[in-house]
Structure 1
Amino acid sequence: MFKKIVLQEGVTLYIRKTEQFKTVNFSVKWKTALDETKAAHRAVLANVLQDSNGRYRTQTALRNTLDEMYGTVLYTDASKRGETHLVSLYAECVNDEYLSEGGVLDEVLGLIQTTIFEPNLVDGQFDETIVNREKRSVIERLRSLYDDKTRYAQKRMLELLRPDSAASASSYGTEKVVDAMTTGDLLNAYESMVHEDEVAIYVVGDVDEQEMTEKIRTHFPFQSRPAMERKLLQQAGARQTDDVRRVREKQEMKQGKLHLGFSTPVSFHHPDYPKMQITNGVFGGFAHSKLFMNVREKESMAYYASSSYASHYGLLYVMAGIDAELEEKAVDLIKEQLQAMQQGNITDLEMEQTKALLGNGIKSAFDSARGQIEVFDQFKELDEQFTAEKMIAVWESVTKEDVQKMATEISLEIVYLLSGKEAV
């Protein structure tokens, strides 16, 4: 799918030559071990690098330049994956072949180079005005969590379920760390990211692979660095369900937010990972799943009910919007759906629809260049020859007996309810 070229130790280029798009897409990803202090600094850094650079020192100047490059898009993002924190820079420009005059591709590569290697420094430090503005932006994003009660309840459940863990850590760090950050901290974060992080560079478009490789070598002179050590989830047996933790919290709100946290020894790198994806799909991942059909539709117990599988942490979550007084009935009904699967109560239709929707999901991701980059960047950790067709074939091979076995590996650890203060 992607051609792999090792530029330096710890610096790898992946090129996908395709006529699928009239644009050329670039992504540079910096990867390091996740901790909330580092995440906070890097989240602000991502914003600052997107704001301006040493050549275009204001947002306006940079945006005008992008417009002149036939609407080229350039932006950054901070995220996490398992125990890894990522800062990503994305750029998309029209392919020179579709222009009467070429040269845009080289201009864009030059702009990305400037963004990375010539940041907007004043007397050797980042501009304090810009830093303070982007600190406020990150803090506002962190605070927005509290206004979205579903996201807040999920965050609280994770903090209780896996405290001081990557599973509950934010990719934007904490408000306290962001607020206390100095321009010196930001410069240190920048130097560390550019010179020490593992780097993956992606190019997707109708390009000459050899020519593009040389352009990338010229524009992105990263020095060698050790590839980061990835900590994998330690596999363990299914936990017992007789010590389920129950937590209730209250805020000014109407609808109750019921969140259940389950553990499983099957994580992303486990050979049974695709089977657990199917299992989650049958359980609550889609509109045909047992949770949706029985908890929401049949019993009208919830405004919504679904499950999600956080494979990098070996966790499965159930989220439901309920009237708080129905907590016990809702929990019992959710547990009944899992028990039904453990007993082999799985229909052919549930299996067929789950496989079809998973397949459609990965196919639709490949409709965009960024989708191709994001999916491959994750799945290449399992198979550097990964393709959507390979993944779909694996899903198709999963049986009802496989799903039944996977269901027995899922154990409830915590029941968390966030409800209104007037609720009993």
Structure 2
Amino acid sequence: MGTHIIKMPDIGEGIVEVELVAWRVQPGDQITEDQIVADVMTDKATVEIPSPVHGKVLALGGEAGQLMAVGSELVRIEVEGDAAAAAPTPAAAPATRAPAPVAAAARPAAPPPASRSPTERAIASPSVRRRAWELGVDIQQVLPSGIGGRVMHEDLEAHAARHGTSSPAQPIAARAAPLAARDGEEAIKIVGLRRKIAQKMAESKRRIPHFTYVEEIDVTELELLRARLNAQHAATRGKLTVLPLLVRAIVNALRDFPQINARLDDEQGVVTRYGAVHLGVAAQTPAGLMVPVLRHAETHDLWSCAAEIARLAEAARSGKATRDELSGSTITLTSLGALGGIMSTPVINHPEVAIVGVNRIVERPMMRQGAVVGRQMMNLSSSFDHRVVDGQHAAEFIQAIRGMLECPATLFVD
């Protein structure tokens, strides 16, 4: 028998070390040629490392979350024959996937389900554990597909489809059980996309002097217009949310505030202003926050804008967004929808200089012409890079958006 060593490949672009995100194999596993053995991540892409040989895994060269140098030993494999090979995996072999801007990093593709020893505690979020309890599924029996062996919601559904569920658990409110103390701790290593998100957020807050401006907007007329458009066209063109109308207002306002549709290279001291509006639309995914890009937002009508936002969000959630779809934004729009609260302090997507945040719409009593009436109100919470955007210009930009949203007919006047 011989030994083959897979070394960390040279991925190019001057990269000297990469992060080991997840193992797809364990010592003792029999593997085949071209089987993926590990996922690694650079600043720009997630890379799958395949095995060039058949054999048995003898040893792994690191732990998930570890930074490994190019050329270091990744996997040691026992192979048939006398010739021992110690060569790096060819640089062209790994398959790269798109980066995930997080504010801008990429989602690693989920590894295939892996077995778990009977004594090893399942790794899962509280919502997944709750769902397993509702289904009557023993989470220890569910094969995980998430990074680091994490059980995902889809793993539960697949397990339930294959094996069925027990009788639904009795609702919590109906149980008459004594309250019990909860003990235990769970240490979760920050690796892969979560590490990239953390690094990107820290970089943005460290390098950018944020200035946040909050303004309330009466969107009653806008909501009436949206309801009318949906009643007339939803069946044939699709349903509109408030986002396409807000995108239209941002695009129109940026014509008078080009310094806000920009990116700052603070190392070179150069601000680049853009004519095209490549709008990043922050999307929450199972793997974390991603920012797919609505390219040339200025060319979209309301329905094509809505359709493209929906397509990009689904591509991000499913991990199918391309590198081009996840990079190159010039300004970002972020919204938590119904969870949007009354205000927020959004973090700028470095190296952009502005981000517009949408808070939820609520009906509140307002004074109009001396009478108290119910109006649909929404706050915009927006942050700006104070090195590039003066406070007055930031306020004027948001007031321009407010004017169009409160009188929606002006959205369609050039």
Query: Which of structures 1 and 2 has the larger relative contact order (alpha carbons within 8 angstroms, sep 6+)?
Result: 1
Q: When the two structures are superposed, what TM-score results if normalisation uses the length of structure 2? A: 0.23
Q: When the two structures are superposed, what TM-score results if normalisation uses the length of structure 1? A: 0.23
**Structure label with greater radius of gyration:** 2
Structure with the bigger percentage of helix: 1
